[in-house]
């Protein structure tokens, strides 16, 4: 069972929004402690996460709630036909089911050791993470299992990033990271890794960076570009604030699901590896 604060962290839905969804739409019915504090189980977390995904993709909250209530969250997804290349995409989810650390680390090592990192990210890593999220929403993977896999992926991305050779001092320079309050780090870390593999100097600033720090660092480094991600609706206010503050100093590029909803910045598109390779080529040609 999870407190309202922990549930807000797990789902990416602010506390106030959780209360509204409960009171207005009845999406979940949390248990209560003797002190009348709300407690949520895994099923409630999954329901709230599905509703968040629907709202993030443009559904009205009332319609999203009706969809969540009408259709079982744990419905079984169709399996790919035997021999289909899509079968590989379920490997991360299966590791999350049984906490197989040896298989998980071996799989990640092979993925990042073979061929172009941009292709590995676009054709295997990101689709596999989508499958992992679906498995969690359907109840096949627990919250702990999803965190186990995501943490391993983030560690491996960081390791691959640091193992890449440094770019030449005269090479283009990019700052990358997440705005204040944003913690969905896998996509922007993968982007930074591919960008560095293309000979770009990358200063990776990580998650949850206040706007003042973005501005101070941009003024100090004067990069050729600044890259931020907008993975959820909740990230929009902080990203808009950051873009407005950084734009007078350097060109800002945005990735993530909601990149097109922020004015004053360029959009990167939704294929992370391809976007990083394209940005490297563009700033190298200027």
Q: Answer yes or no: do 224 and 149 share one domain.
A: no
Here the CATH number for the domain that contains residue 90 is 1.10.1240.10
Q: Answer yes or no: do 189 and 155 share one domain.
A: no
What is the per-residue pLDDT across 2-31, written as a single tens digit (0 to 9) for each?
888 888 877 778 888 888 898 888 888 888
Q: Answer yes or no: do 18 and 60 share one domain.
A: yes
Q: How many residues does the chain have?
A: 286
| Residue 77 lies inside a defined structural domain of this protein | no
Domain count, the chain: 3
Tokens linked to 174: 């990019």
Q: Answer yes or no: do 64 and 158 share one domain.
A: no
Examine the fold and report which residue of 17, 41, 70 is the final residue of a domain before the chain moves on: 70
pLDDT score for 213: 97
Q: Answer yes or no: do 270 and 237 share one domain.
A: yes
| Residue 75 lies inside a defined structural domain of this protein | no
Residue 190 in this model has a pLDDT that exceeds 60:
yes
pLDDT score for 131: 87
What is the per-residue pLDDT across 198-242, written as a single tens digit (0 to 9) for each?
999 999 999 999 999 999 999 999 999 999 999 888 899 999 999
Question: 144: domain range?
Answer: 85-163
| DSSP alpha helix (H) spans, the chain | 4-11, 15-20, 42-56, 61-70, 91-98, 101-113, 117-120, 126-137, 143-163, 186-197, 211-221, 236-246, 272-285
**At 71, is the pLDDT very low, low, confident or very high (cuts 50, 70, 90)?**
low
Examine the fold and report which residue of 163, 187, 210 is the final residue of a domain before the chain moves on: 163
Q: Is the dihedral of CA 216, 230, 147, 29 positive or negative?
A: positive
**At 251, is the pLDDT very low, low, confident or very high (cuts 50, 70, 90)?**
very high
Lowest-confidence pick of 59-68, 82-91, 101-110, 112-121 = 82-91
Q: Answer yes or no: do 155 and 250 share one domain.
A: no
- Is pTM beyond 0.85? Reply is no
Examine the fold and report which residue of 106, 136, 163 is the final residue of a domain before the chain moves on: 163
| Residue 30 lies inside a defined structural domain of this protein | yes
């Amino acid at each position: 069972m999870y407190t309202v604060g922990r549930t807000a962290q797990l789902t990416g839905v602010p506390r106030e929004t959780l209360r509204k969804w409960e009171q207005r739409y009845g999406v979940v019915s949390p248990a209560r402690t003797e002190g009348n504090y709300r407690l949520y189980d895994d099923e409630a977390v999954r329901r709230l996460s599905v509703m968040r995904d629907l709202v993030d993709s443009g559904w009205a909250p009332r319609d999203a709630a009706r969809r969540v209530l009408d259709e079982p969250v744990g419905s079984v997804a169709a399996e790919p036909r035997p021999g289909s290349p899509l079968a590989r995409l379920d490997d991360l989810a299966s590791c999350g089911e049984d906490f197989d650390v040896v298989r998980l680390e071996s799989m990640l090592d092979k993925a990042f050791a073979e061929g172009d990192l941009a292709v590995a990210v676009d054709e295997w890593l990101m689709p596999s993470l989508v499958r992992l999220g679906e498995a969690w929403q359907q109840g096949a993977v627990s919250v702990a299992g999803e965190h186990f896999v995501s943490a391993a992926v983030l560690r491996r991305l960081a390791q691959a990033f640091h193992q890449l050779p440094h770019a030449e001092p005269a090479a283009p320079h990019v700052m990358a990271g997440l705005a204040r309050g944003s913690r969905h780090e896998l996509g922007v870390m993968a982007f930074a890794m591919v960008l560095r593999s293309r000979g770009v100097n990358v200063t990776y600033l990580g998650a949850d960076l206040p706007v003042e720090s973005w501005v101070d660092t941009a003024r100090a480094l004067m990069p050729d570009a600044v890259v931020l991600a907008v993975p959820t609706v909740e990230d929009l206010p902080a990203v808009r604030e950051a873009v407005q503050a950084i734009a007078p100093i350097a060109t800002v590029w945005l990735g993530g699901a909601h990149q097109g909803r922020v004015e004053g910045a360029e959009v990167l598109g939704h294929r992370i590896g391809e976007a990083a390779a394209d940005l490297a080529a563009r700033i190298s040609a200027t």
